[in-house]
Every structure is written in structure tokens, then in C-alpha cells.
Amino acid sequence: MTGSNQPMLEIRQVSKSFGGLSAVKEVSLSIDKGEIFALLGGSGCGKTTLLRMLAGFESPSKGAIFIDGEDISKVPAHKRPVNMMFQSYALFPHMSVAQNVAFGLKQEKNKLSKPQIAKKVLELLTLVRMQDFAQRKPDQLSGGQRQRVALARSLAKKPKVLLLDEPMGALDKKLRSQMQLEVVDIIESVGVTCVMVTHDQEEAMTMANRISVMHEGEIMQVGTPSEIYEFPNSRHTAEFIGSVNIFDATVTQLEADYTRLSCVDLNAPIQVEAGVNAPLGASLGIAVRPEKITMTQKKPEQSDNWLMGLVEDIAYLGGHSVYYVKLESGKRVMAIGTNNDRHEQKVTWQDRVYLHWSITSSVVLYQ
């Protein structure tokens, strides 16, 4: 029982259905100590249900949940070594900041003495830089301050697993990016294992070490943020994380060092790296991220991986612009151009442009 290679949290084939409708289907995950793990998905994908099962607010219909090797599936919420930061923060409105943070400490079996609790509360509030607000009531705090208090409160009992439910959901955009890094710093300084739920891919990528993309109650892909972004394993993941162009193509040529496909939308064949696991004639999706596409006004020299179209729309975003190029077939393709010259405005609406990308830029999607 060294526990060195034993995961802190293990979810084994957990399913949950509500009145015949299954919200979570056979989910298995294993999360290591100290990891920040994100469950990412749109609304209704089952991520919140899964989190609520970890907290003990719902019980799995099937499967088991282990924390530090112990099956906690049947343990009621108030006895689990797990604490949660709620989306709405759920701070007790009738208690001061200090009382909120002390609440969990006061519930412990071997209760600390009053001065010990006070000392611990001060430590926690200092950790989240809220020590000057100890006597305030939650309704006298701003959104960011409330979040810090909620975080301190959920860390007070030194949980084995910290759960974050849409941690930035209640904050405005600017505060969000600042708090994301701050919360990660605090969680890492404490060293607690953390599972967060979010629908915001940027948030998941900023905060988490590993992400699991969920869709319709199932896990589509688990990986680091860059794995998920650069090597999506399905159309859903590719489209959910960031922007992507997907071309429906048919395998025409299988060579040792490349594979060639044809796509009705394109003027040229598509060439991808070797190792495509499909026979000749198979239909596949080829995903190309818009920032990996180069736009020129001259026809590119390469024979494959290019297309031609008219600029239909330009979204100027300051640092870069997104160009929407309409192909002859009617399909729209997105390309990103960096705005590194202040005066240059080389491409404009209705211009004929060529888009091309390298053989290593595209990802083959089998499903």
C-alpha cells in the first residue's frame, strides 16, 4: 500500500440515469494525485452529473468511485473527503466570511479549539488574499472576492479531491482570465487533486493539466490540452475545441510515406501523413485548424493541399483577422492571418485567394 502509482481518484464504469434517461454512460477515469483535471462539454453532456456523483449529491446507478483506493460510492456527502466550490459559490448569506470558512472545520469529529480554528481561518483567508474581509457578509463582496472566499472554504478541510463546478461561470470576461491563473496558483500551492467542470474550452485549457471531453454522457477523448487540440480523435472534439475546417474526403492512394485523398469541395487532392488506418475508398474527415492555413493571392507551388475561393467575410480581431473564404462548391473555409503590419491591408472582400497548408497540419478523423 505505498500508493505511489495508485490514482487519487478512480471512476470505474459509472453510469447514471434519471427516470430511464441516461445522463452518464459507462464513464471510467483515473486521476492522479495533484492533477488538475477538467471535464469539458456542452450543457447536458453529463459533466455536472458526474461531478455531483463525486461530491455525493447523486449516487451512481452503476459502477463505483474510489478515492485514495477506498470505495466511496455509498458514503454520504457529509462523510466524503471531498469538497466542492459551487458555481454560485453557495456562501452562507447569514454568516460572515470567517464563519463561512470556519464552517467545515467546526463539523470535524476531532474539533479544533476556537483559537486554532480562528488561526486556520486566517491562514486560509491570507492564502486567497481575503484576510481584510473576514468580518464582511457575502453580499458585501464582489464576484471575484466571493470566489476567493468559496475557494478558501472548500480548501479548509484539506480535501483529498477538490471539485470546482464551472469555477469562472459567474465572473465577467476580464476578471475570468485573471482568476483562472490565480485559482490554479492557489490549488497548486496547496497541492490538492482537483476535478473541474466547465463548458468553456479556453478555461479548461488554461487551468487543467488534463482534459476529458464529454458528449451525451460519454467521454470522447482524454488528454493534455495540446493533445486534445492538435490530435482530436473525433469530429465532435475537433469542432468543440477551437475552430476547425473539416473536409469530407475519400482515400484514393495509400503510399508508404503519405496518403492521398480526394475531396469534392477542393480543386486539389489532400495529402496527409502516412499511417491512415482505412482502406482505399473509405470516407474520412480531414480537419485543418484555421491558424495552420496560409493565405496567398498567387497560386501556391505545391500540387496538393490547396484550394481557391473568394473572400466572403473578414473578422478583424485586432491581433489577427479571420478570413471566411467561399469555395466554388459553396463550402466556407476559415483561415487566420496575423496582422503584423499596421498599414498593410492586402486582402479585401471578394478577392480571389489561395489557401494552402502543409502535410503535417491536418488531422484525420475517423468518426
Q: Which residues of the chain form contacts with another protein (CB under 8 A)?
A: 55-57, 76-79, 82-84, 86-88, 90-94, 103-104, 107-108, 137, 139, 153-154, 156-157
- Minimal distance in Å, beta carbon 345 to another protein? 51
Q: Which is nearer to another protein, 39 or 241 (CB)?
A: 39
Full strand arrangement of the beta sheet holding 218-223 = 82-85, 161-165, 193-198, 36-40, 210-215, 218-223
- Minimal distance in Å, beta carbon 90 to another protein? 4
Q: Do 127 and 187 contact (CB within 8 A), yes or no?
A: no
CA angle centred on 353, ends 350 and 354, rounded to 5°: 155
- Minimal distance in Å, beta carbon 91 to another protein? 8
Q: Which is nearer to another protein, 83 or 245 (CB)?
A: 83
- Minimal distance in Å, beta carbon 222 to another protein? 26
Report residue 52 CA to chain centroid gap. Answer: 18
- Minimal distance in Å, beta carbon 9 to another protein? 16
Measured CA to CA, the distance from residue 66 to residue 272 in angstroms comes to 42
Measured CA to CA, the distance from residue 336 to residue 317 in angstroms comes to 10
* Nearest alpha carbon to residue 32 among 192, 183, 164: 192
* 3-state secondary structure at position 37: strand
Q: Which CA distances in Å does 175 have to 64, 155, 178, 179, 208?
A: 37, 21, 5, 6, 18
Q: Do 129 and 148 contact (CB within 8 A), yes or no?
A: yes
Q: Which is nearer to another protein, 91 or 287 (CB)?
A: 91
Q: Which is nearer to another protein, 103 or 231 (CB)?
A: 103
- Minimal distance in Å, beta carbon 36 to another protein? 19
CA angle centred on 291, ends 181 and 224, rounded to 5°: 45
179-218: b (≥16 Cβ within 10 Å) or e: bbebbbebbeebebbbbbbbbbbebbbbbbbbbbbbbebe
Q: Which is nearer to another protein, 149 or 222 (CB)?
A: 149
How long a stretch of residues is the chain? 367
- Minimal distance in Å, beta carbon 80 to another protein? 8
Q: Which is nearer to another protein, 58 or 203 (CB)?
A: 58
- Minimal distance in Å, beta carbon 140 to another protein? 9
Q: Which CA distances in Å does 279 have to 260, 266, 327, 367?
A: 12, 21, 28, 15
